[in-house]
Structure 1
Amino acid sequence: MLSKKTQYAFHALIYLAENVDKGPILISEIAQEKSISIKFLENILLELKNSGILGSKKGKGGGYYLMKPPKEIALAKIIRLLDGPIALLPCVSLNYYERCENCRDEAVCGLNEVMGRVRDSALKILENKTLKDILTKS
């Protein structure tokens, strides 16, 4: 399940993409339009900025803006950045692998096999869908 933080990040990114022609957008405008707490949104946008997804400009005419076109921002990247692994079990995670405490042998674990397939299916979608794909639906 996506955290509220990630859901809000997607709402903010969609707003920035829809208003890309306006230039940098103030955090207060995004917060008001998307009904998100300014303080919470500040942390989210700062994280997105530090990862290179957003840029910011200070002073008059300042605010946040997308560093890349929406068609180049993969949904999987945003989810991993804010929520961590996409896999439902740590033993099938590609980027955050951890051995499960209760598992005796991953090679014969049926749950590991099924969750690996779930991960692969989710990744096939999330790595090939971008911010542009969710723009058309919102």
Structure 2
Amino acid sequence: MISNKARYAFRALVAIAEAPAGEAMASADIARRYAIPHKFLEQILLDLRKAGILESRRGKSGGYTMLRPADTVTFGEVLRLFEGPLAPLPCLSRQAYRQCEDCVDERTCLIRREFGRAYDASRAVLDNRTIGDALSEGRQQGDEIRRSA
């Protein structure tokens, strides 16, 4: 299960990526739209800015814009930013690898093998799907709904 912080980060990224090109989104507007505590959202947006995903502008037309195109920001990247390594076992982690304390031989460990399969599958999806992909599919589904109405 992902944390509220990660979920709110995804919501904020979607809102900012949906804004017309060059138009900044105010954090207060995002917080109001998604019922996110404003101070908490500011911390999340700061983390996204420090990670080089967003940029911020001050002033009357200030707010947040995408620093990188939405189709280059993966779900895996954002999730790792807020949740840390995604591996279910320390012996599968690329960022925080360590051998399990009770492991005799990683090469023959059945637990590592089975969780490795699940981890590889989820990592493949998360590291290949972008915020841009999600937005494109959402727009297509909306178009299909409008056409069938």
Both structures adopt the same fold (TM-score exceeding 0.5):
yes
1:22 Cα deviation from its structure 2 partner = 6.1
- Aligned-pair RMSD on alpha carbons? 1.5
Moved over 3 A (4+): none
CA distance in 1, matches of 2:40, 2:138: 25
Question: 1:21 aligns to what SS in structure 2?
Answer: coil
Question: 1:55 aligns to what SS in structure 2?
Answer: strand
- Give the equivalent residue in structure 2 for 1:87: 87
**Structure 2 gap segments, 5+ residues each:** 140-149
- Give the equivalent residue in structure 1 for 2:39: 39
Question: 2:138 aligns to what SS in structure 1?
Answer: coil
- The residue identity in structure 2 corresponding to 1:23 is E
- Give the equivalent residue in structure 1 for 2:145: none
Larger mean Cα displacement after TM superposition, 84-93 or 30-39 = 84-93
CA distance in 1, matches of 2:10, 2:4: 10
Larger mean Cα displacement after TM superposition, 31-40 or 12-21 = 12-21
1:137 Cα deviation from its structure 2 partner = 3.2
- Give the equivalent residue in structure 2 for 1:137: 138
Question: TM-score w.r.t. structure 2 length?
Answer: 0.86
- Give the equivalent residue in structure 2 for 1:60: 60
Q: Cα deviations across residues 103-136 of structure 1 (Å, max 9, x unaligned)?
A: 2322221111111111111111111100012223
Residues 45-124 of structure 1 mapped to structure 2, 5 A cutoff? 45-124=45-124
CA distance in 1, matches of 2:3, 2:138: 20
1:29 Cα deviation from its structure 2 partner = 0.4
CA distance in 2, matches of 1:112, 1:46: 36
CA distance in 1, matches of 2:109, 2:26: 50
Larger radius of gyration: 2
Asked if structure 2 preserves the Cα contact closer than 8 Å seen for 1:57 and 1:64, the reply is: yes
Larger mean Cα displacement after TM superposition, 22-31 or 40-49 = 22-31
- The residue identity in structure 1 corresponding to 2:13 is L
**Structure 1 gap segments, 5+ residues each:** none
Asked if structure 1 preserves the Cα contact closer than 8 Å seen for 2:15 and 2:30, the reply is: yes
Sequence identity of aligned pairs in percent? Answer: 40
CA distance in 2, matches of 1:80, 1:116: 17
* Paired residues, number: 138
Q: Cα deviations across residues 50-83 of structure 1 (Å, max 9, x unaligned)?
A: 0000000112211111111111111111011111
- The residue identity in structure 2 corresponding to 1:14 is V
Question: 1:96 aligns to what SS in structure 2?
Answer: coil
